[in-house]
């Protein structure tokens, strides 16, 4: 099922819509979606040329590859470059490990992840609290649920294809929760009693069940799960992040898949989520010299899929947007002007007590906050002939 952005249709078990991110060069605002018709990239295995999409477009004579001087890291593993864990960008869904406190100081001055970019777009002061001050944030049940569901869906693909059933996935919830508690014992304090915890687990179970209404994992063999990726722009900015799932078809076509445990945003807000996906698409484009065929957001809160097919102009515009965003961050860093930007998302912010928008006073800026601490990783860049 494919439906046009701008129109909402009743959502049966599987809802798919397409959307876009309109973009103005150098502007930081995320505008209303542009429209592009997309198809479903069939990643069922085995796959081949008959899967219903055109052959990949190769770069011809006189054309350039990725606009930026790029780099070249992919599959960094769990600790490479101080990256964060799986992220959720919806209100209250930041994963427990997805705070600046989880990033190393060496990674902060010249690197950007989609979640931190989203923080700055949401509120520069929130970015400061997370990246500059590195203030701790208490765990939340919504974030923990997101981490748990991500863990189950990641490990589901460890099972033989025929065993990837709702029953198998549901049976993974309790042991994965125990594993998460072992890693982060403070999560155990999220619930006051077993009843509260069981109700929370039931919600996670509903999300896992909903996943199976959106696709059939017995027909998929992901290339990567929880895949660490990074690339360096010509500006020296290191882009990094973790992709929930990467599907690569036999002809090399790439689909980036991201699981969201919230509900799909209203269409006027979905550009923000697509920005995260385009960020990942830029990294893969730069490292693999191929524009990903499809970006797929799977909203397990309401059983809806948003799909978007980017092209090179999209990704060039995203590079310009990221560079402009980084310049704004650097400007705030050099001036110390990290303004609060109150919005409905303040309801989920852990720092209201020290936010001027709520009558609070931020702590003094750390001494090191106004200058970069590390040099760009020059040896990680290579020219592309652009």
Query: In the complex, which residues of this chain contact ligand SF4 (CB under 6 A)?
Result: 123, 125-126, 340-342, 345-346, 349, 351-352, 355, 357-358
User: Which of residues 133 and 314 has its CB atom nearest to ligand SF4 in the complex?
Assistant: 133
Nearest approach in angstroms of CB 371 to ligand SF4 is: 23
**Neighbouring C-beta atoms of residue 99, cutoff 10 Å:** 23
User: Which of residues 337 and 373 has its CB atom nearest to ligand SF4 in the complex?
Assistant: 337
Please count the CA atoms within 13 angstroms of the CA of 205 that sit on its side-chain side.
14
Q: State how far the Cα of 203 lies from the Cα of 248, in Å rounded to an integer.
A: 31
Q: State how far the Cα of 271 lies from the Cα of 31, in Å rounded to an integer.
A: 7
User: Which of residues 42 and 115 has its CB atom nearest to ligand SF4 in the complex?
Assistant: 115
User: Which of residues 150 and 333 has its CB atom nearest to ligand SF4 in the complex?
Assistant: 333
Yes or no: say if 80 and 344 are a contact pair by the CB < 8 Å rule: no
Nearest approach in angstroms of CB 353 to ligand SF4 is: 9
User: Which of residues 30 and 201 has its CB atom nearest to ligand SF4 in the complex?
Assistant: 30
Nearest approach in angstroms of CB 319 to ligand SF4 is: 27
User: Which of residues 100 and 173 has its CB atom nearest to ligand SF4 in the complex?
Assistant: 100
Inter-CA distances, 83 with 38, 75, 144, Å = 31, 12, 18
Name, in order, each residue with C-beta under 8 angstroms of 122's C-beta and a sequence gap of 6 or more: 341, 343, 345
Nearest approach in angstroms of CB 101 to ligand SF4 is: 16
User: Which of residues 139 and 340 has its CB atom nearest to ligand SF4 in the complex?
Assistant: 340
Nearest approach in angstroms of CB 190 to ligand SF4 is: 21
Q: State how far the Cα of 141 lies from the Cα of 162, in Å rounded to an integer.
A: 32
The beta-strand segments (E) located in the chain are: 15-18, 70-71, 73-74, 111-112, 224-232, 238-248, 254-260, 294-299, 304-308, 381-382
3-state secondary structure of 256: strand
Nearest approach in angstroms of CB 198 to ligand SF4 is: 32
Nearest approach in angstroms of CB 341 to ligand SF4 is: 6
The pair of three-digit structure tokens given for residue 245, joined into one six-digit string: 């799932």
């Amino acid at each position: 099922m494919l439906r046009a952005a701008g129109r909402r249709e009743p959502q049966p078990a599987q809802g798919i819509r397409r959307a876009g991110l309109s973009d103005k060069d150098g502007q930081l605002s995320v505008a209303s979606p542009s429209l592009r018709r997309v198809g479903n990239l069939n990643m069922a295995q085995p796959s081949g040329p008959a899967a219903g999409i055109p052959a990949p477009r190769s770069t011809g004579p006189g054309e350039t590859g990725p606009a930026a001087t790029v780099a070249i890291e992919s599959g960094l593993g769990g600790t490479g470059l101080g990256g964060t864990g799986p992220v959720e960008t919806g209100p209250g869904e930041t994963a427990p490990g997805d705070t600046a406190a989880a990033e190393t100081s060496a990674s902060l001055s010249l690197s950007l992840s989609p979640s931190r970019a989203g923080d700055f777009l949401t509120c520069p002061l929130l970015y400061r609290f997370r990246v500059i001050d590195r203030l701790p944030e208490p765990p939340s049940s919504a974030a923990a649920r997101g981490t748990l569901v991500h863990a189950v869906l990641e490990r589901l693909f460890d099972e033989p294809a025929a065993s990837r059933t709702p029953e198998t996935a549901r049976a993974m919830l309790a042991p994965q929760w125990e594993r998460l508690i072992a890693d982060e014992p403070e999560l155990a304090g999220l619930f006051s009693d077993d009843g509260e915890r069981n109700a929370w687990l039931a919600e996670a179970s509903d999300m896992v069940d909903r996943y199976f209404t959106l696709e059939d994992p017995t027909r998929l063999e992901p290339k990567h799960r929880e895949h660490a990726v990074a690339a360096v722009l010509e500006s020296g900015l290191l882009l990094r992040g973790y992709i929930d799932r990467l599907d690569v078809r036999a002809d090399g076509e790439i689909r980036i898949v991201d699981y969201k445990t919230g509900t799909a945003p209203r269409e006027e807000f979905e550009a923000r989520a697509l920005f995260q996906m385009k960020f990942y698409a830029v990294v893969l484009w730069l490292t693999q010299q191929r524009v990903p065929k499809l970006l797929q957001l799977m909203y397990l809160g309401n059983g809806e899929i948003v799909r978007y097919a980017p092209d090179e102009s999209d990704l060039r515009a995203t590079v310009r947007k990221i560079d402009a965003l980084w310049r704004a961050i650097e400007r705030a860093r050099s001036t110390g002007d990290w303004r609060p930007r109150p919005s409905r998302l303040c309801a989920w912010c852990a720092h209201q007590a020290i936010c001027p928008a709520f009558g609070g006073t931020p702590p003094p800026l750390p001494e090191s906050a106004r200058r970069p601490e590390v040099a760009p990783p020059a040896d990680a860049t290579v020219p592309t002939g652009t």
